[in-house]
Structure formats: C-alpha cells, structure tokens
Structure 1
C-alpha cells in the first residue's frame, strides 16, 4: 500500500489579512526572514570592523562571499533603500549598512519616500534641524 504524498501545509496569518490594501507596508515575517537570511546577515555583520573593512576594500568580493544574489548586489550598489526593504531587508540592519556607506538616516528616509533630502526635510516639524 502506498503512503499518501506529503504536502506542505499552507498557513495563513489572520493578523496579515487586508495588509495588501495598506500602501507602503511590507511584511517582515518568518518566511521573509528565511528567504533573505543571507542578505540580512550581510547587513548585520556590518557591526564588525572586519566586515566593514572587507566591504569598503572590495564590495563585490564581500557581497559574493556573503552569497548574495545578483539582484541583491544591484540594490546594494544602487543604494536602493526602499527596494531592499521591499525585498525583505530588515530596516534595523539596513541602518547599520547605511553607516558603512556614510548615509545619514534622514537621507535614507528621504530616498525611501522617493523625495529629495530638501523636500523631505520640509515635511518635518523642524525642517532646519539637520
């Protein structure tokens, strides 16, 4: 007698119901975390001086050694912050990488919104505070 074929159960998270209707919302759940683990580890490792130096000295070799995909490498080269978030990069480790490439948080936020830094600052309560 043949055993029934095993199928992977499909789990839906009721907390995510309707999320697709919220523009600018990107789920970072266990599935996303698993799918882009190498990318997030690459960014997390930027806490170490050796990893930062390796990236600064040879970005391509550093990204290749981390096992990043060609698409991930392209987003990193372009400093496509929102593209990285949409892809599954965890924002908090992305901030670590922003320091490595000398990008202040406010400029990252402006880029994520698709705005110039000046336009973004004009939306702040104290636009002259830099």
Structure 2
C-alpha cells in the first residue's frame, strides 16, 4: 500500500480514491460525464432505467443514482465534478448537495456560510 494513503480511511469524512476505486467507479463516472450532452440529459430524464442499463451500471450504482445518494456516490468513488453535472440535471444546486452530504437541512447549512443569505 502507498504509505501516503495508509490509514487515510481513518480520517473522518475522507474517502480514499485510488486506482482500485477509480477502476470500480469508471462506468459510473463516464455515465455522469455524459451529462454534458443535451441528448444524454434528455434521455436520462425520460428513461433513466434504460440509460443506466445501456451504460452497464451495476445494481449498486443504479441504486445510488436512483436515491440521489450524494454522499454514497462520493464514498463509492464518483468524481465530485461529474456529480455536480448530474445534480444540475436533477435540479439540485451545489449548495443543496453539500447540505445533504453534511446531513443538514439547506437552511442549517446556509447558516454556516459566510454569507448565509446568498442563494
């Protein structure tokens, strides 16, 4: 094991992203990356199950997508930047996603910001 990542999983809120994780989550990350294309986004909104099947997502990956399990996606190995693309498709702002990941209501989360009234 790389000594730089040894015991990293013991740091609360840190999720190891190594080659194994990258390889495991590759299909899912590609699936989200395709959200940059309007036809892909439209298909997702119209027939998500078919699109996930065509992308060969595993049942676990499909469940994460269906549940909009933002923290679960990160823990699984989804790249945050492609998760943000997906969030916009399902009409979620980054701030809403961050609040959910922290286990807070949006209003409580906003109170932790320097400008809590900013939306």
| Common topology (TM > 0.5) | yes
Q: Which residue of the partner structure matches residue 60 of structure 1?
A: 49
Among 12, 15, 18, the alignment partner of 1:26 is: 15
Q: Which residue of the partner structure matches residue 72 of structure 2?
A: 83
Query: Is the CA contact (8 Å cut-off) linking 2:9 and 2:16 kept in structure 1?
Result: no
Q: How many residues align?
A: 119
Q: Which residue of the partner structure matches residue 102 of structure 1?
A: 91
Alignment partners' CA distance in 2, 1:17 and 1:27: 10
Q: Which residue of the partner structure matches residue 44 of structure 1?
A: 33
Q: Which residue of the partner structure matches residue 7 of structure 1?
A: none
Structure showing the higher helix proportion among its residues: 2
Deviations 1:71-93 (A, max 9, x none): 11111111110011111111111
Q: Structure 2: give runs of 5+ residues left out of the alignment.
A: none
Alignment partners' CA distance in 2, 1:92 and 1:28: 14
Alignment partners' CA distance in 2, 1:50 and 1:33: 26
Q: Structure 1: give runs of 5+ residues left out of the alignment.
A: 1-11
What is the TM-score of this pair, normalised by structure 1?
0.88
Alignment partners' CA distance in 2, 1:18 and 1:28: 13
**Superposed displacement of residue 99, structure 1:** 0.9
Query: Is the CA contact (8 Å cut-off) linking 1:40 and 1:89 kept in structure 2?
Result: yes
**Superposed displacement of residue 70, structure 1:** 1.2
**Superposed displacement of residue 65, structure 1:** 0.7
- Between structure 1 and structure 2, the one with the greater Rg is 1
What SS does structure 1 have at the residue aligned with 2:4? helix
